[in-house]
Amino acid sequence: MSKLRFSLADKSRLMTLVSAKLDVLEDKRNDGNSIQRKNAAWEDLAVQYNSFPDAQKVSSKQLKKCWKNMKARSKEDITEERAHLAATGGGPLTKAVPEMSQIIHSMIPEQFEPLQNDFDSDQVMFVDRSVASTSSGTVCHNNGHFINKSIISSTDPHNW
């Protein structure tokens, strides 16, 4: 049995579907009711995902694992960026954070921020990604809704 591989289009589709159920899927509670809601949301998401004619047929467990891997990769990318900024004193980046990582960070920013320690003397550099703009013109706001920049007339993100 070969390993299942998700294409960039598959991951993008999954990210869009997850964004609609983000409040349930990323809920940190683990009581019986919350777990039941999460499992039902993943099953519903699998049905929606598999309804696309060009999608490979996958289970909710496979989609959940793919989402977990996507978040982990995004966290690695953001951590690498922070380490580079700290090493160069905030100088220019040599490698840009991938677009998908930027969007995932915008969807769940609270999972990317390190714990605050007032007694730590290390300076931590943060890049504000509460609104991520990508090369394709897609913007993902904190609430996880995707917006196409070309249809936005205002440059002030608070008016979106």
Q: pLDDT (tens digit, 9 = 90+) per residue, 64-113?
A: 999 999 999 999 999 888 888 777 666 676 778 889 999 999 899 888 87
List the domain boundaries for the chain. Answer: 8-159
Question: Of all residues in the chain, what percent carry a pLDDT higher than 70?
Answer: 69
Question: Of all residues in the chain, what percent carry a pLDDT higher than 90?
Answer: 47
What is the CB neighbour count within 10 angstroms for residue 70? Answer: 19
What is the CB neighbour count within 10 angstroms for residue 17? Answer: 19
Total residue length of the chain: 160
Residue whose tokens read 């913007």: 139
Contact 138, 148 (CB under 8 A): yes
Calculate mean pLDDT across residues 145-154. 42
pLDDT at 144 over 80: no
Contact 106, 130 (CB under 8 A): yes
Q: Is 12 exposed, middle or buried (0-12, 13-18, 19+ CB in 10 A)?
A: middle
Looking at residue 136, its pLDDT comes to 53
| Residue type present at position 59 | S
Looking at residue 158, its pLDDT comes to 41
Q: Where are the alpha helices (DSSP H) in the chain?
A: 8-20, 22-25, 32-50, 60-88, 99-107
pLDDT at 24 over 60: yes
Indicate the pTM of the whole model.
0.69
